Amino acid sequence: MKVSSVTSTHLSAVICWYQHQRTQVTPEHTQPSSRPAAATRFPRMGLSQVWMRFLLAIVGLALAFGAAIFSTVLGESGNLWGTIILASGALLLATAVGLTTVPYLARRVVANRVREAMDYDVTRAGMIYILISVVIGIAAINTGNNLLYVVVSALLSAVLVSGIASALVLRSLALDVHLPEHVFAGRPMLARMFLRNASSWLPSFSVRVVPAKRKTKEHWRWEAYTFGWPRGRTPQKQWVRLPDRRLRRVREEAEKPILRESIYFPFLAPGERLRADLEISFPARGRYSEKNFGLATRFPFAFLMKTRRVNLARELIVYPEVDATEPFLEVLPMVTGEFEAFVSGRGYDLYRIREYMPDDSARHVDWKATARTGALKVREFSREDERKLRIVFDNPAPGVLAPAAYERAVRMAASLGWHFHHEDVEVSFVAPGLEPTADVFTFLRYLALVEPQEATPVFSRLRASEDYNLIVTARETGAIPAALAGASYVISVGAAQAEYRSATERGSATKRA
């Protein structure tokens, strides 16, 4: 009994130890093994779901086709109800496949294949070729001549070969466009285009980089408007000005294109990368953009102009003209003179030696220059602070200036900012909607995109300082605060436009007389 009890106790201990080891070992081996299974199961489920949808679509279409055939057989045998049931079933099956499976599979088409679509344009040679093919085809049908059928087949196969060859030429091409960072209107700039043939065995022939096609749209739009009376007067002279809205038919013009002409690449070997330098020039300021470019070819028979749209977005901000125009050359000497007179002061750096004035102090008399010239001369010193200039563009409201006068004002502000940026002057720029900045390119970018708008006058943001102000405005000089006008040179574009209008009216009145 004793032995048996010990034996049973030993056996029970062994069984407990084995169960304990199983409870400890099983999670360590089963848990990690389940994770890869779960990780590999989900991709397989996604892949099998696509294939399952595809196979179900094939089965459904096969059943619909079979039902349609049997409905035809039953119809010929005179079984009306069988024909109706089978035809309806075939129609329902085809509709179910079309509504459930086709959209699901279409959404999984690669997006780049959709965006980089092909455009086809029939050339003049292609039209003549197609016309000849149609004439020969009609003759073959009417006469039943086998030789004419062979000729028509050869003509149509040439069209097919042309389409396949041109698609192969354009398929493996990669385009890249490099544009200059700073572009001014009216100045030619250099752009670079890189075209690479990514194929390792197939060359490309007769490829052109062409601009994308653009369309214009028209629609009605409500827009903000200020009712002013009497009409025909400047806002300062109108008696009533009330905020209003008006409905206008607006034409959405297509974005200004960057590329206006095509660039031709006659041949690209497999793996070759070619560069083309293109001189571009833009007639006016503004935003120019391309959402995509086109790669076109007529290879091999010039029947079709096949264009592959390349999803390559580029944008360019064109600054206003800064060349020395006649109005700028007229204003610049006066601006420079006023600025130089303002910065002259009583500092420690000698500015110039000039004639003695009654309000000058005797301690500034230059006795050597006086003895040399025989006239009393004084030394004039520069101001102790730096030569600071603040250029202010007062953007007018819509309708204040004619479009041509507004463009002249923008061009004047840009030319003055660009000129003094290259002088020994600390320049800052202020305009409505623009944070005060010392960066000339930020100011030029603002002027490139600015349009007339209703806004708080910029003079409310200006305070008297040591800066000399150069103001380009459509307001009259009296509308500028006196404290600001004392340290400013004002270029009134509105006054110049009024003088031009009055001169035009006088000329027209003289012609009528």
203: domain CATH number? 2.60.40.10
The burial of 10, by beta-carbon neighbours within 10 Å (0-12 exposed, 13-18 middle, 19 or more buried), is given as exposed
Which residue ranges of the chain lie beneath pLDDT 50? 1-47, 110-115, 346-347, 384-385, 496, 499-500, 502-504, 507-513
pLDDT tens-digit map of 119-146: 888 888 888 998 998 888 888 887 878 8
- Residue 275's DSSP bridge partners are 194
Same domain, yes or no: 391 and 313: no
Residue 244 near residue 226, CB atoms below 8 Å: yes
Same domain, yes or no: 465 and 492: yes
User: Is residue 144 situated within a structural domain?
Assistant: no
Same domain, yes or no: 338 and 313: no
Q: Could you give the CA distance from residue 194 to residue 265 in angstroms, rounded to a whole number?
A: 10
How far is CA 425 from its chain centroid?
Answer: 35
Of 453, 412, 440, 261, the closest CA to residue 324 belongs to 412
Pair of tokens at residue 386: 């730096």
Bin 105: left if φ > 0, else alpha if -120 < ψ < 50, else beta.
alpha
Q: Could you give the CA distance from residue 433 to residue 444 in angstroms, rounded to a whole number?
A: 13
Q: Could you give the CA distance from residue 208 to residue 448 in angstroms, rounded to a whole number?
A: 31
**What pLDDT does 254 receive?**
66
Same domain, yes or no: 419 and 480: yes
User: Is residue 223 situated within a structural domain?
Assistant: no
Point out the domain boundary residue: 53, 72, 106. 106
Q: Could you give the CA distance from residue 401 to residue 496 in angstroms, rounded to a whole number?
A: 11
Same domain, yes or no: 309 and 336: no
**What pLDDT does 34 receive?**
38
The answer to whether the Cα torsion of 201, 206, 209, 215 is positive or negative is negative
Point out the domain boundary residue: 76, 106, 136. 106
Same domain, yes or no: 417 and 492: yes
Same domain, yes or no: 290 and 438: no
Element (H, E) at 275: strand 273-280
Point out the domain boundary residue: 91, 106, 121. 106
User: Is residue 308 situated within a structural domain?
Assistant: yes
Element (H, E) at 164: helix 146-171
φ, ψ dihedrals at 90, nearest 5°: -60, -40
φ, ψ dihedrals at 354, nearest 5°: -135, 180
User: Is residue 116 situated within a structural domain?
Assistant: no
**What pLDDT does 148 receive?**
86
**What pLDDT does 270 receive?**
93
**What pLDDT does 38 receive?**
39
Of 177, 181, 135, the closest CA to residue 155 belongs to 135
Cα-Cα-Cα-Cα dihedral of 5, 7, 11, 12, to 10°? Answer: 10
Pair of tokens at residue 22: 């199983």
User: Is residue 442 situated within a structural domain?
Assistant: yes
Kindly report the CATH number assigned to the domain that includes residue 435: 3.40.50
Q: How many domains does the chain have?
A: 3
User: Is residue 20 situated within a structural domain?
Assistant: no
Same domain, yes or no: 430 and 490: yes
Q: Could you give the CA distance from residue 106 to residue 242 in angstroms, rounded to a whole number?
A: 55
User: Is residue 402 situated within a structural domain?
Assistant: yes
Of 303, 299, 3, the closest CA to residue 124 belongs to 303
Same domain, yes or no: 44 and 178: no
φ, ψ dihedrals at 437, nearest 5°: -145, 155
Same domain, yes or no: 334 and 263: no
Stated length of the chain: 513
Alpha helical stretches, state H, 313-397? 326-343, 367-373
**What pLDDT does 178 receive?**
94
User: Is residue 122 situated within a structural domain?
Assistant: no
Same domain, yes or no: 332 and 270: no
Structural domain span for residue 48: 27-106
Same domain, yes or no: 310 and 331: no
